[in-house]
Amino acid sequence: MNLRFGFIILVLAFLALLLAIGVLTAIRWIRMHYPERANAILAGGAAIVAGAVVMTILELNDRPLFRPHDLITLQEPVVARTIPVDRAAGSVTCIVDLHEHLGVLEIEVEQGALKARVESNNTSAPVFCPVGAEVRIDLNWLRRLTVTRRQTQVSGS
């Protein structure tokens, strides 16, 4: 077993122990100071915690899932980094503007990024990504958007 992994597990176990001790102490304190209303207070606290867990799960499941060939229409500007065509060129930071379109090329789950092609963009200033450029966008920056599923083009023989 990796030493770093073992240390992380040890720290997480210690934090879980501290959390359990804190919860038990809070329950005892409530039962001692409010004996007739303790059950109602604890039931209300449990309902609030359960609601927070449900809201968190719903929020996590609400994220859009992308597939290659999807069309993304942005509802707010997004900062992207261009993917250089050759190794000598560096990547440049640019902006994909509001109500513009990106075509999904691939999803890089490990890096939390989306590789896309700019299909339309406001090119009035040099800070905007050029149309046709391949860009990489951090998935955390994509908040307000519309995803359109496109069928892949299959050529018949």
pLDDT in tens, the chain (157 residues): 688 899 999 999 999 999 999 999 999 999 999 999 999 999 999 999 999 999 998 887 776 678 888 888 888 888 888 888 777 777 888 888 888 888 888 888 778 888 999 888 776 677 888 888 889 998 888 888 888 887 766 555 4
Quick count: other Cβ atoms within 10 Å of Cβ 5?
9
Residue where a domain terminates, one of 61, 90, 106: 61
pTM for the full model? 0.55
Same domain, 52 and 115: no
Task: Please state, in angstroms and rounded to a whole number, the distance separating the CA atoms of residues 106 and 68.
Answer: 5
Same domain, 32 and 98: no
Per the structure, the complete domain to which residue 119 belongs is given by 71-148
Task: Please state, in angstroms and rounded to a whole number, the distance separating the CA atoms of residues 83 and 72.
Answer: 18
Same domain, 100 and 35: no
Number of domains within the chain:
2
Same domain, 46 and 87: no
Same domain, 9 and 34: yes
Residue where a domain terminates, one of 42, 61, 80: 61
Could you tell me which residues are beta bridge partners of residue 24? none
What pLDDT is attached to residue 156? 52
